[in-house]
């Protein structure tokens, strides 16, 4: 290893913002491993690197003894005193054993270590850059398609939006900009992976935070979200300020805010629901605009019987049962919808 390489290490440490001592320590450990691999040095050894000249010394540590049983680990008192007259029994003698041609191996190892260190640091920086974006929205560019998955360029790295995380019916073309919700960021031996989604309910939460200042500031809060991606979502909101109306803030003037969010998710319909601490009121709000006659909760409040007039059934249930399913998901309990006539019929059957 030469002074030129040492100077290169110093320069790269500055350019890449890497601690020079970190590189040198990694280099030292690699050289020790290289000694053992290339020269069969199994004893206690260390490597000294002169930071100015680049000169490398391999040093073996041997215990000073009267009778040598293992020459790899021990040295006689007589031989130790030939190295340094101050050595005495039980001391650890330092013996320079730098192999011939070790400079060439040291230079090769240094290049490998520096390369590996750069790769490791770049991966760490990349991981840290995206790890802080977990639970947030990022924007990428569609690069291509693989089967039904979308390959997306995020600038420093690519990710894949799997089919199951895509909004049904949504179509993208190469070079389109695309917003993504970051589910997770994981580190692997060969790099990092970023897991993204457009169907996750929290994608909607983040869109609301981006579009609605009252939500990003905390004045209006999103309590629950129930979603059938590409079709319909129910979002329960509440205001922390009596002078600010939660749903009105989300809708915006001429529905501009809610329409902007809806257009981002392929015109998915969004029902805004006033959250209530009282469960019965919350259920009524979740099923609005349908008119509910009565609500009967079971003892554990895990199930509710919803009684509605016949002309309200289709409104409560919704197309394909979507409305009541989303409402049940939103409030967190099972909802059973019945008309008074159905209840009377069940009562008659029970009495037969």
Q: What is the DSSP letter of 132?
A: T
Cα–Cα–Cα angle for 318, 263, 216, rounded to 5 degrees: 100
Q: What is the DSSP letter of 321?
A: G
Comparing CA positions, the residue from 292, 334, 330 lying closest to residue 313 is 292
pLDDT value for 146: 92
Place of tokens 């457009």: 198
Torsion of CA 315, 321, 324, 328, to 10 degrees: 180
pLDDT value for 38: 64
Neighbours of 97 (CB within 10 A): 15
Residues for the chain: how many in total?
352
In the chain, what is the greatest distance between 2 CA atoms, to the nearest angstrom? 113
How is residue 299 written in tokens?
């003892």
**Rounded distance between C-alpha atoms, residue 23 and residue 111, angstroms:** 11
CB–CB of 3/108 below 8 Å?
Answer: no
Q: Tell me the pLDDT tens digit for each residue of 12-45.
A: 777 767 777 777 787 778 777 777 776 665 568 8
Q: Is 52 helix (H, G, I), strand (E, B) or coil?
A: coil
pLDDT value for 352: 45
**Rounded distance between C-alpha atoms, residue 315 and residue 271, angstroms:** 14
Strand order in the sheet with 269-274: 220-228, 232-239, 269-274
**Rounded distance between C-alpha atoms, residue 226 and residue 329, angstroms:** 6
Q: Tell me the pLDDT tens digit for each residue of 251-284.
A: 999 999 999 999 999 999 999 999 999 999 999 9
Mean pLDDT per 10-residue section of the chain, whose length is 352 residues: 67 74 78 72 75 79 88 86 89 83 71 74 86 95 94 94 95 96 90 94 96 95 96 95 94 94 95 95 93 91 91 90 94 91 64 46
pLDDT value for 349: 46
pLDDT value for 250: 95
pLDDT value for 350: 53
**Rounded distance between C-alpha atoms, residue 318 and residue 330, angstroms:** 15
273 strand-pairing partners: 236
pLDDT value for 345: 64
- In order of 41, 58, 111, 122, 226, the CA distances from 26 in angstroms are 19, 16, 12, 16, 51
- In order of 42, 140, 160, the CA distances from 153 in angstroms are 48, 5, 9
Q: Tell me the pLDDT tens digit for each residue of 281-312.
A: 999 999 988 899 999 999 899 999 999 999 98
Cα–Cα–Cα angle for 287, 293, 294, rounded to 5 degrees: 90
CB–CB of 203/213 below 8 Å?
Answer: no
pLDDT value for 1: 53
How is residue 286 written in tokens?
């979740």
Q: Is 76 helix (H, G, I), strand (E, B) or coil?
A: strand
pTM metric for this prediction: 0.73
Comparing CA positions, the residue from 119, 60, 64, 43 lying closest to residue 94 is 60
- Domains of the chain, start order: 3-130 (3.30.1480.10), 132-197 (2.40.50.140), 205-275 (3.30.300.20), 279-352 (3.30.300.20)
106: alpha, beta or left? (left if phi > 0; alpha if psi -120 to 50): alpha
- In order of 130, 180, 195, the CA distances from 133 in angstroms are 5, 11, 11
CA atoms within 13 A on the CB side of 267: 3
Q: What is the DSSP letter of 292?
A: P
CB–CB of 192/157 below 8 Å?
Answer: yes
**Rounded distance between C-alpha atoms, residue 178 and residue 198, angstroms:** 10
Neighbours of 95 (CB within 10 A): 16
């Amino acid at each position: 290893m030469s002074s030129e390489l040492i100077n290169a290490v110093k320069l790269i440490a500055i350019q890449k913002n890497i601690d020079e001592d970190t590189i040198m320590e990694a280099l030292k450990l690699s050289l020790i491993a290289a000694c053992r691999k290339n020269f069969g040095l199994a004893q206690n050894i260390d490597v000294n690197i002169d930071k100015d000249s680049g000169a490398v010394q391999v040093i073996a540590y041997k215990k000073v003894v009267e009778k040598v049983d293992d020459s790899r680990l021990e040295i006689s008192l007589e031989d130790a005193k030939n190295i340094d007259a101050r050595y005495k029994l039980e001391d650890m003698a330092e013996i320079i054993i730098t192999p011939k041609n070790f400079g060439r191996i040291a230079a090769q190892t240094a290049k490998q270590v520096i390369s590996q260190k750069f790769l490791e640091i770049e991966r760490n920086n990349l991981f840290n850059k995206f790890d802080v974006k977990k639970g947030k929205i990022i924007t990428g560019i569609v690069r291509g398609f693989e089967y039904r998955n979308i390959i997306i360029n995020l600038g420093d790295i690519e990710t894949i939006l799997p089919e199951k995380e895509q909004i049904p019916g949504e179509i993208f073309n190469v070079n389109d900009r695309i917003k993504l919700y970051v589910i997770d960021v994981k580190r692997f031996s060969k790099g990092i992976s970023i897991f993204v989604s457009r169907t996750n309910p929290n994608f909607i939460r983040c869109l609301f935070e981006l579009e609605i200042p009252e939500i990003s500031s905390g004045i209006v809060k999103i309590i629950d979200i129930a979603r059938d991606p590409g079709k319909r979502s129910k979002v329960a909101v509440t205001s922390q300020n009596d002078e600010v109306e939660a749903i009105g803030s989300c809708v915006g003037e001429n529905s501009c805010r809610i329409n902007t969010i809806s257009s981002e998710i392929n015109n998915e319909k969004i029902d805004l629901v006033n959250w209530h601490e009282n469960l019965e009121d919350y259920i009524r709000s979740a099923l609005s605009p349908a008119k509910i006659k009565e609500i009967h909760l079971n003892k554990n409040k895990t199930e509710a019987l919803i009684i509605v007039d016949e002309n309200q059934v289709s409104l409560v249930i919704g197309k394909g049962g979507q409305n009541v399913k989303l409402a049940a998901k939103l409030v967190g309990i099972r909802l059973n919808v019945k008309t008074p006539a159905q209840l009377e019929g069940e009562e008659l059957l029970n009495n037969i």
